Chain A
Amino acid sequence: NAGVMQNPRHLVRRRGQEARLRCSPMKGHSHVYWYRQLPEEGLKFMVYLQKENIIDESGMPKERFSAEFPKEGPSILRIQQVVRGDSAAYFCASSPEKRGDEQFFGPGTRLTVL
């Protein structure tokens, strides 16, 4: 059973460009979470999605950031007009439908904004 897949693993963008980060949850998992890890900081929650629904976006910056988890395909975290402060590792986690199971994390996407 493959784990949580994230791609690309490394992404370099220039200021003002768009970044798209993809996350394929574990098989059978319908809940996806995105976290951001800045250098020397812990993981910060961004958004929690189920298929076609945003459940909790309390950690998402108000501008430039959006997330989706369509009925078919991976979850996408989209950052428009990137700035240097967006440089970080972005981790996706997934969990199954039933409550009481852990979140399994992917290997992360490291975004560098030049």
Chain B
Amino acid sequence: QKEVEQDPGPLSVPEGAIVSLNCTYSNSAFQYFMWYRQYSRKGPELLMYTYSSGNKEDGRFTAQVDKSSKYISLFIRDSQPSDSATYLCAKSTNFGNEKLTFGTGTRLTIIP
């Protein structure tokens, strides 16, 4: 069993729709959860990170963590064509100065 499972997609939604991206993990030692966005032929960039169960909001993006079920989600409201990218969830035991464990990534396309 992989430590982090993520549906690879691809996922296509119309512009303006709400997007839901999900990951599950198996290692309870993971405490920090991150979402990275990766445009084609580019390096990943951090979108959001969270530590505790519950929701964290940043503009159109909401990260949700449920530690009891080992499930994390990223919601994108009012999706834009510029949101088209691969979204990677990542986990670590601590935040910073430690390796990250990534999911396989979900390729998202927003259709104008």
Q: Of B8, B42, B44, B45, which is within 8 A of A43 by CB?
A: B44
Q: Of B43, B94, B96, B102, which is within 8 A of A106 by CB?
A: B43
A87 to B45, CA, bound (A): 23
Q: Give 12 A-B pairs besides A99-B96, A105-B45 with Cβ atoms closer than 8 angstroms.
A: A41-B104, A43-B100, A56-B99, A59-B99, A91-B43, A91-B44, A101-B96, A102-B34, A102-B96, A103-B96, A103-B100, A108-B43
- Interface pair B97/A102, CB less than 8 Å apart: no
Residues on A facing B (Cβ under 8 Å): 4, 31, 33, 35, 40-45, 48, 56, 58-59, 91, 93, 95, 98-108
- Closest Cβ of chain B to A83, distance in Å, is 23
Closest Cβ neighbor of A102 among chain B residues: B46
Question: How many interface residues does B have (CB within 8 Å)?
Answer: 24
* Chain A residues in 8 Å Cβ range of B95: 99-102
- Interface pair A42/B6, CB less than 8 Å apart: yes
Judge if B21 is at the interface, Cβ distance under 8 Å: no
- Closest Cβ of chain B to A98, distance in Å, is 7
- Closest Cβ of chain B to A36, distance in Å, is 11
Judge if B30 is at the interface, Cβ distance under 8 Å: no
Known: A41-B104, A99-B94. A105 touches B44 (CB 8 A): yes
Closest Cβ neighbor of B99 among chain A residues: A45
Closest Cβ neighbor of B34 among chain A residues: A102
Known: A40-B8, A42-B103. A98 touches B43 (CB 8 A): no
* Chain A residues in 8 Å Cβ range of B44: 43, 91, 105
